[in-house]
Every structure is written in structure tokens, then in C-alpha cells.
């Protein structure tokens, strides 16, 4: 098994920190404004967070390829930002 460069592990930790902060801030906002899809959106956050932390653990302990991290970012984070966060933005604009 190849050791991961320390900088790559740090970047992964920073990504997880950013995702967690984004989700927390967004969930506080959704509760405050009474976003109707709050529970579904929060559940999606939980699924993404579990997948991200699993991938992070695998990234630091086994030879996870950068492509796996990129695929995760594209398939979960980007889709979430455009679809789910997009519906939240639409709701906010309509208030």
C-alpha cells in the first residue's frame, strides 16, 4: 500500500470540513425559513456526509485513487449543489 502524501490527506480533511460547515449552515437556514423539503434535504446531507467520511477514511488508509475522490465530488456534491440547493435557492427567491 502506498502512503498518501500528507498534503493530499490535509486537502481531503479540508474538503470534509467545508462540506460539514456548508450542510450545518444550510440546515439552520432551512429550519429558520420553514423550507418545506427540509427533512428530505437534511436526509440527503446525511447520506452525502456518510459517504464522504467513509471515502476519507479509505483515502487515508488504503490506495484510493484520486479518480474516486473526483467521482464522489462530481456525483454527490455537484449534483446536490445544482439540484437540491437549487430548489432551496428557488424557494428563497420566491419568498
Q: Higher pLDDT residue, 75 or 93?
A: 93
pLDDT of residue 3: 54
**CB-CB neighbours of 26 under 10 Å:** 18
- Note the pTM of the prediction, 2 decimals: 0.79
Residue 71, pLDDT above cutoff 70: yes
**Taking 50 as the threshold, does the pLDDT of residue 61 lie above it?**
yes
* Cα torsion 77, 2, 14, 33: sign: positive
Amino acid at each position: 500500500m502506498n502512503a498518501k502524501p500528507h498534503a493530499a490527506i490535509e486537502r481531503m480533511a479540508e474538503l470534509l470540513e467545508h462540506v460539514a460547515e456548508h450542510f450545518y449552515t444550510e440546515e439552520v437556514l432551512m429550519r429558520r425559513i420553514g423550507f418545506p423539503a427540509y427533512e428530505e434535504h437534511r436526509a440527503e446531507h446525511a447520506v452525502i456526509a456518510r459517504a464522504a467520511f467513509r471515502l476519507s477514511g479509505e483515502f487515508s488508509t488504503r490506495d484510493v485513487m484520486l479518480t474516486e475522490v473526483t467521482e464522489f465530488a462530481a456525483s454527490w456534491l455537484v449534483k446536490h449543489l445544482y439540484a437540491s440547493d437549487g430548489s432551496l435557492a428557488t424557494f428563497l427567491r420566491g419568498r
